[in-house]
Chains A and B, each alone.
Chain A
Amino acid sequence: MKTRITAYAIGAGFILLGLWGVLTGTTNPRGWAFWFAGAVIVHDGIFVPFVLLLGALTTRVPASHRRFVQATLLVGGAVTLVALPMVLGFGQRADNPSILPLAYGRNLIIVLSVIAVVAVVWTALARHRKRSDDPR
């Protein structure tokens, strides 16, 4: 119980320190609060429902292909999300071509293709192994 209370105190201390820092040390606390709460609202209200819908749709895929589709969506979706700011390229600057120098749209397609190929091979291998394990 004692360690628990100590840990709570440490946690609360860090939170209060951070809040104090945000209020006194950042340039726009109101904008900060908007982004802080906005991130939760967008995530819980839009992003996850969309993912759940997509997940529900994959249950209609024939069972034999479902694993493959789900794995590809999981890995490919995450990579796409992280790569999105690069693909959109809002950070590009005319005076500095070494920022965002690559063809990110094309590269993302390459990465997604590799993911799909790996998923196909993986599923095929798994199925093959299962079949050969089956006693006939």
Chain B
Amino acid sequence: MVRRAEPLTPSYVPRFKSRLHDERVAAWLGIWLGVAFTSAFVTGLISHFMQQPPGWLMWPSRPVNLYRVTQGLHVIGGLATIPLLLAKMWTVYPRLFQWPPVRSVGHAVERALIFVLVGAALFQVVTGLLNISYWYAFPFFFTSAHYWTAYILVGALVIHVVNKWPKVHRTVMKHPEDGLNRRGFLLGVAAASGTVAVTMVGEAFSPLAKVALLAPRRPGVGPQGVPVNRSAYAAGVSLAAANDPAWRLQVTGRVQRELSFSLEELQALPSHSARLPIACVEGWSAGATWQGIRLRDLLHMAGVAEDARVRLISMEVRGIFRTSWVSSRHWHDPLTLLALSVNGETLDLDHGFPCRLIAPNRPGVHQTKWVRQVIVV
């Protein structure tokens, strides 16, 4: 096979002299990025379908920390991808000025797809980074935009991999390693990704919490030592409403007998404790010891079908997470509690006083706070 000479850059573009703008470096960075984006896509889909499960999908309640791990990988891995992506695009930047800009129809399509790939990749890391730092600078709802753009990114990536595979194969797998310069550069990029990961990972992996100097969250910082995603103020739940003596937890719907408990009556029921994490979709997670009534016990008391689905309603007045679904697998799990206390203290209002759901392997936004009603469907 005759190898075509690299297209020349026009004379008005300054010469790129560094040896690092070459195929070998681009190939290695490309391989790393391929792995990183695939991991982000898979963990992202897990999170998406955990939050919006289609009817046929019965999500397991175990292992307890599964979501914590997948979502931590998604967010912290995604942050560590930023240096890789920037380095890769720096390496191939001279090709932006290739001359002639378009050689054939096929080449035009390929370049258009590169635009799609670069745009989607930048869009995902920029919106992701802004979202975990709670800086909503973009004019759209994050979740759906990030979700659908992921498909565009993966599609463009598949085509890119097919197009570049022969080149990667030739430069990475057939040539012997040479030149310390390249190795030094790749090591530097890896060090940049590693530093980002190390200064962030403690927001999910608490033994490293002290090193998480740049993470938007820190386990242990928050009321009763647990961070809060949505405060009572933001959810529109006042202390007066939560403290109202007329407050009752109601169990209704398709039950043999409807139940209604005051807070004192709930406290008198058999209580269990569970060590469970709040694992947030933004990547942070923090473990805590929760105490309360097993949802299973409550539903058996009311008399429900074993495969019933349950809907929890919060006292929140606004927001899409006012209610959540609990599948039969989750409510059968003995670790699934309607918690009344955390780390030995009555729940703080921001943690859902008087009563909140806490269940294993479940996104934080679905651990409904300020529960007032359990509806069996």
- 23 sampled A-B residue pairs with Cβ under 8 A: A12-B155, A18-B151, A26-B148, A32-B145, A34-B139, A39-B119, A40-B118, A43-B89, A48-B90, A52-B90, A71-B184, A71-B191, A74-B189, A78-B82, A78-B192, A79-B192, A79-B196, A81-B82, A91-B133, A91-B135, A93-B134, A98-B217, A101-B218
Which of B83, B154, B158 touches A78 (beta carbons < 8 Å)? B83
Contacting pair A26 B123 (CB below 8 A): no
**Residues on B with beta carbons closer than 8 Å to the beta carbon of A83:** 199, 214
* Contacting residues, chain B, for A96 (C-beta < 8 A): 228, 230-231, 233-234, 350
Looking at chain B's contact residues, is the secondary structure mostly helix, strand, loop, or mixed?
A: helix
Closest Cβ of chain B: how far from A97's Cβ, in Å?
8
Given A78-B82, A85-B135, residue A35 in contact with residue B123 (CB < 8 A): yes
| Contact A35 B138, beta carbon cutoff 8 Å | yes
A51 touches B234 (CB 8 A): no
> How many Å lie between the Cα of A11 and that of B200 in the bound state?
33
Contact with A along B123-136 (1 / 0, CB 8 A): 10011011001111
Residues in A neighbouring B155, C-beta threshold 8 A? 10-18
Is B231 touching A11 in the complex (CB atoms < 8 A)?
Answer: no
A26 to B148, CA, bound (A): 8
How many positions in chain B have a CB within 8 Å of any CB in the partner chain?
73
B143, closest chain A residue (CB): A26
Say yes or no: B127 contacts A21, CB within 8 Å: no
Q: Does B222 belong to the interface (CB within 8 Å)?
A: yes
B12 interfacial contact with A, CB 8 Å: no
Contact B96 A44 (CB under 8 A): yes
Q: Top 7 closest A-B pairs, CB basis? A: A91-B134, A14-B155, A21-B148, A18-B151, A18-B152, A98-B222, A31-B139
Chain B hits for A104, CB < 8 A: 213-214
**A22 contacts partner chain B, Cβ-Cβ < 8 Å:** yes
Interface residues of B (CB under 8 A from A): 18, 79, 82-83, 86, 89-90, 93, 96, 115-116, 118-120, 122-123, 126-127, 129-130, 133-141, 144-145, 147-159, 161-162, 184-185, 188-189, 191-193, 195-196, 199-200, 213-218, 221-223, 227-228, 230-231, 233-234, 350
Which A residues from 1 to 53 make CB contacts under 8 A with B? 4, 7-8, 10-19, 21-22, 25-28, 31-32, 34-37, 39-40, 43-44, 47-48, 51-52
Shortest Cβ distance from B121 into A: residue: A39
Residues of B with C-beta under 8 A to A78: 82-83, 86, 192-193, 195-196
- B214 adjacent to A7 (CB under 8 Å): no
16 further contact pairs, Cβ within 8 A, besides A31-B138, A39-B126: A15-B152, A15-B156, A16-B155, A21-B147, A37-B119, A44-B93, A67-B184, A78-B86, A79-B214, A82-B83, A88-B135, A93-B234, A95-B231, A107-B213, A108-B214, A111-B199
Residues of A contacting B126 with CB < 8 Å?
35, 39
Q: State whether B234 touches A75 (Cβ < 8 A).
A: no
- Tell me if A22 and B149 are in contact (CB < 8 A): yes
Let me know if A102 and B228 touch, CB within 8 A: no
Residues of chain A with a CB closer than 8 A to B148's CB: 18, 21-22, 25-26
Docked pose: A91 CA to B137 CA in angstroms: 10
* Inter-subunit contact A26/B141 (CB<8 Å): yes
- B199 and chain A: residue at smallest CB distance: A111
A12 to B110, CA, bound (A): 12
In whole angstroms, how far apart are the Cα atoms of A55 and B193 in the complex?
19
| Alpha-carbon separation in the docked complex, A39 to B158 (Å) | 21
Question: Contact between A107 and B90 (Cβ–Cβ < 8 Å)?
Answer: no
The residue among A4, A43, A93, A115 with the most chain B CB atoms within 10 A of its own CB is A43
- Nearest A residue to B132 via CB reads A85
Residues in A whose Cβ lies below 8 Å from that of B159: 7-8, 11-12
Q: How far is the CA of A12 from the CA of B159 in the complex (A)?
A: 8
Question: Across the interface, which residues of B come within 8 angstroms of A22, CB to CB?
Answer: 145, 148-149, 152
CA distance A92 to B234 in the complex (A): 13
Q: Which of B133, B136, B189, B217 has the most A CB atoms < 10 Å from its CB?
A: B133
CB of A120 closer than 8 Å to a CB of B: no
How far, in whole Å, are A12 and B83 apart by their CA atoms in the complex?
Answer: 27
Determine the distance from Cα of A101 to Cα of B150 in the docked complex, in whole angstroms: 30
